[in-house]
Amino acid sequence: MPVDVDAILRPWFDALMQEAGRPALFDAHTHFGQNDPDTFRQTAAELLADLRRVDARALVFPMHEPDGYAAANDAVLEAVAASDGTLRALCRVQPRDDDALAEARRCMDAGAAGIKLHPRAEAFDMDEPSVRELVALAHERRAVVLMHAGRGIEALGTNTIRYSEQFPDARLILAHCAISDLAWLAGELPAHPNVYVDTAWWHPADILTLFCLAPPGQVLWASDSPYGQPLPSAINALRCAHEAGLTHEQIASVFGAQLERLISGQDAVGAGPAPGPSAALDPLLERVVAHLTTAMGRAFAGSDPSESIGLARLSAGVGDAHPHADVCAAILWLLDLMEEHMAPPPSGRGFPLAGRFAVAALVLARTPRAALPPDVAAGAGSASHEHAQRGTTAS
């Protein structure tokens, strides 16, 4: 039976939510579908079950549908209607289709809160005339346009800024921490208040940079379900928000309040300026971050991450008298869980579920100041050298 990651991490989630003032969670980025070429699969029922475990609402839209989106958009609208308010819809369109604008208008007339665009999956450029027409429709409706913003999309940020100036009532959301353009885009956000960035990403360097350098009112929590999951995603983002120094009011904005305003056509509410760079990281924790990042890179490339995991374990073996002993004990606990539960991914999931424990360990190493897993905080874990050597072959 697959490991229940949510059940294991639930006490940690509860502790972080308490520390954050219990924001009302509204996930800006989820999908369902059965035909995506990347082999990920999710049903509406599976998405709803994961959201209800953390009492969250979500924006939802179709996964990639190579044969077109009309039927998939209808399925999303039907799921939203049956969700008792848990879900709100975005429609998805291929701008190169002749009926893209008509399909977007049809879905928005039926209740969709906006449009999802994926220039990489659907191989279109953001400066195509049809994209401009879709953004103009969002401006007309004061609606959302959520855009995939991973790597490999030419001029995405530049075109988004241009559209934001031409269509100020469109609410433009760049997904995945806007990793394609975050290096310069964060500095442009204060002058472009209708541009937002969601946190649907896995590496704490990018999430923390977003929280530190972007105005909090322009950051939206998102899980990317089924690629991420709401509960582990919330843990990771809450830790980064705390590390960046966000207040309870700012966290409430990021984790749902601002999105609620955007999709209901209300004016956005500012949440203050970007807090600026976070505190420097302890060099011993930086070693853990480096080795776990290497491990994740190897895993994504399909090679063996075990040597880098072993080095991360040894890096966390700081001894129980070290100032960060509790953090390192929690890292080792998470890596123990990963090794104990590692198994091939279940159907419809591209990565082993236990890999989420490694991502949680990576985020923990980069954000040492927020609440720890309760079992470890109570003394169940150890940062001893002997514990760190468990299961490693590195020397």
Parallel/antiparallel/unpaired status of strands 219-220 and 91-92:
unpaired
Q: Which domain holds residue 320?
A: 283-389
Round the CA-based radius of gyration of the chain to a whole number and report it: 21
Q: How confident is the model at residue 390 (pLDDT cuts 50, 70, 90)?
A: confident
Share the mean pLDDT of the chain: 94
258: closest CA among 141, 295, 225, 266? Answer: 266
Tell me the pLDDT tens digit for each residue of 331-340. Answer: 999 999 999 9
250 and 328 belong to one structural domain: no
As a residue count, the chain comes to 395
204 and 349 belong to one structural domain: no
How many Cβ atoms from other residues are within 10 Å of residue 110's Cβ?
Answer: 14
Count of alpha carbons within 13 Å of 255, Cβ hemisphere only?
30
Q: How many domains are contained in the chain?
A: 2
Nearby residues of 322 by Cβ (< 8 Å), 6 or more positions away: 284, 328, 383
pTM of the predicted model as reported, rounded to 2 decimal places: 0.95
220 and 327 belong to one structural domain: no
Q: What is the pLDDT at residue 394? A: 42
> In percent, how much of the chain has pLDDT > 90?
85
- 270 within some domain: no
Greatest mean pLDDT range, 115-124, 132-141, 153-162, 374-383: 132-141
- 221 within some domain: yes
CATH number for position 204 = 3.20.20.140
> Which tokens go with 150?
């991973």
96 and 204 belong to one structural domain: yes
Q: What is the pLDDT at residue 382? A: 85
Dihedral, 189, 264, 175, 235 alpha carbons, nearest 10? 100
Is the confidence at residue 395, as pLDDT, over 80?
no
> Which tokens go with 98?
């002749």
299 and 350 belong to one structural domain: yes
Q: How confident is the model at residue 162 (pLDDT cuts 50, 70, 90)?
A: very high
Spell out the alpha helix ranges (H) of the chain: 5-19, 44-52, 70-81, 100-109, 129-141, 156-166, 182-188, 204-213, 230-244, 248-252, 258-263, 283-300, 306-315, 325-341, 355-366, 374-375, 385-389
Q: What is the pLDDT at residue 17? A: 97
